[in-house]
Amino acid sequence: AQKITQTQPGMFVQEKEAVTLDCTYDTSDQSYGLFWYKQPSSGEMIFLIYQGSYDEQNATEGRYSLNFQKARKSANLVISASQLGDSAMYFCAMREGGRGSYIPTFGRGTSLIVHP
């Protein structure tokens, strides 16, 4: 079973509008971390935002916020005021458990295109 599911292969948004990228996850651990990365066409994965399973408040980083719904096991990324430079692939990832050699797991990604 997929640990990270991103159901939107592609999304389009107009410049200056907000967009939500979906991510659902599957884990039986109580302690886990959720991450979002941006991958432009150049290839580098850029860290955007982190949410811990015990965090009571949704994480925010500038124009990025994470809509964390623990009971639904969802961690959607919200980008406000989209910019043309936001066009890229976006990946949701999870790290499970406590300290140790566990494997970070990534979803298949969502392609976001911001048009003028």
Query: Binding to other proteins by residue 91, rule CB under 8 A?
Result: yes
**Residue of 53, 58, 67, 74 interacting with other proteins (CB under 8 A):** 53
Sign, CA dihedral 113-61-93-73, equals negative
Query: Binding to other proteins by residue 93, rule CB under 8 A?
Result: yes
Query: Binding to other proteins by residue 7, rule CB under 8 A?
Result: no
Closest to other proteins by CB, 48 vs 114, is: 48
Please state the closest distance from residue 60 (CB atom) to other proteins, in A: 16
Query: Binding to other proteins by residue 57, rule CB under 8 A?
Result: no
Q: Are strands 46-52 and 64-69 parallel, antiparallel or unpaired?
A: unpaired
Query: Using CB under 8 A, which of the segments 12-20, 57-65, 66-74, 97-105 binds other proteins?
Result: 97-105
**Residue of 25, 35, 36, 68 interacting with other proteins (CB under 8 A):** 35
Retrieve residue 67's tokens. 């809509």
Residue 84 φ/ψ, nearest 5 degrees: -55, -35
Query: Binding to other proteins by residue 86, rule CB under 8 A?
Result: no
Euclidean distance between CA atoms 24 and 84, whole angstroms: 26
